[in-house]
A = this chain, B = another copy of it.
Amino acid sequence: MSAELICVGTELLLGDILNSNAQYLAQEFAILGIPHYYQSVVGDNIGRVHQVIDQACQRSSILVFTGGLGPTPDDLTTEAIASYFNAPLIEDPDVLQDIKDKFNAMGRVMSPSNCKQALIPQGASVLPNPSGTAPGMIWQPRSNLTILTFPGVPSEMKRMWQETAVTFLKQLGWGQEIIYSRLMKFRGIGESALAEKVGDLLNLSNPTVAPYASLGEVKLRVSAKAPDETAALALIEPIALKIQEIAGLDYFGSDKDTLASVVGQLLREAKQTLSVAESCTGGGLGEMITTISGSSDYFYGGVISYDNRVKVALLDVNQQDLEQFGAVSHTVAQQMALGVKNKLKTDWGISITGIAGPGGGSEEKPVGLVYIGWATPESTTFASEYRLGQNRERETIRYISACLALDGLRRLLIEKLEKNVINSTLLL
């Protein structure tokens, strides 16, 4: 027993639109605990839709269609399904009236082509569409096979799914068991290294543990199947804790946590404030920190010192050091961090200076070379060198740099909070 998704629409095959419906419905299947092994996309063509149905109904017991329910001739999902199962199409008078009423309410006259949207296969039930003119259907054309159709417009599909389909599927017995997941996030460790560390946990069956890699971040999804959320959490918690112990400081948060939210929380805990000095990121670090609403409690601001003159004038970077070591150097990174901390009177200062490319690199200082500096509440400064790779894109280098800066601060704050050596010079 599993559900299969069939998205009908030539616009998907032309790449005109992104298939966000597929992601939404996949998540919904997971929540209801319905196994989901296949998705297909097919154009507005009866023969090809038949071919997809032919295979899908051999391997899946619930077929969910999106798209192709509109009034134009190329909308032929209902027709294709009916003809595949040799069922005649019947005009539903209530649906027709509903479509007419909706046109009236908008002050428009229904065009004859809309009549088509009132046709459903004999034996099917209407799945009402409260926000649009295209209703869907729920149909069991033979035993052990249920078909649901939805329009392609995401907002209409989602509302119909939530208001009618979910109830129907629960009546069929689905959703007795849910799949509940926790997404654990890591920095400073690669996907393969983490997988090796976690080892046997990757072979568990309930909860399952699966690794994902995204830009500069590795994730483990811990998913449990259980009658409800509480029971699922009881399965997830001990495994998550074990992983957290194994990963140590490389684990930074779960689910909606971001580096910016975690650092913000730590700064609140420590009652400390932060400012930033940015060269190659051009404001991206400040932007990242201020994605968090309420970040003004601990983030005072910063200086975008893209030009060297700004480094000297606003951050008190030493002109001679700039000339001797260059703007992209340990020394200048440290001076920038201390400069912004002093200028903005915050506990912490972070700085980023590097070569984001694609231009500006040299043999000695290649594209991807980035120095990140930190100034602590005690005005100690230090900087780290990163070589992020000459082949990486400008935006990737900038994004990873901002993440590294925040991740460094996160580790420093945790260390200080654990050692209880927090020394708040500027209480809020």
Listed in ascending order, the chain A residues whose CB lies under 8 Å from chain B are 10-20, 22-30, 36-43, 45, 48, 51-52, 55, 59, 70-74, 102, 105-108, 111, 113-114, 130-131, 153, 155, 181, 183, 190-193, 195-196, 202, 210-213, 221, 223, 276, 278, 280-291, 293-296, 299-307, 309-310, 313-314, 343-345, 356-360, 387, 389, 391-396, 398
Contacts and interface: CB of A to CB of B under 8 A. Distances in A.
B293 A282 contact: no
A283 B290 contact: yes
B20 A18 contact: yes
Contact of A213 (B70, B293, B395): B70
Contacts of A276: 283, 304
B357 A293 contact: yes
A38 B52 contact: yes
Contacts of A387: 105-107
How many copies of this chain are found per oligomer?
A: 2
A55 B15 CA distance: 22
A281 to B, nearest CB: 7
A15 B30 contact: yes
A306 B299 contact: yes
Contact of A55 (B55, B283, B313, B343): B55
A267 B181 CA distance: 49
A398 B287 CA distance: 9
Contacts of A278: 283, 286
A392 B13 CA distance: 29
B306 A296 contact: yes
A190 B103 CA distance: 10
14 contacts: A10-B210, A14-B30, A14-B221, A38-B40, A38-B41, A38-B52, A40-B41, A71-B191, A282-B290, A286-B304, A293-B358, A295-B306, A301-B305, A302-B303
Given A212-B16, A286-B306, A37 B26 contact: no
A182 to B, nearest CB: 12
A248 B41 CA distance: 35
B37 A48 contact: yes
Given A192-B114, A394-B293, A36 B55 contact: no
A287 to B, nearest CB: 4
A281 B289 CA distance: 10
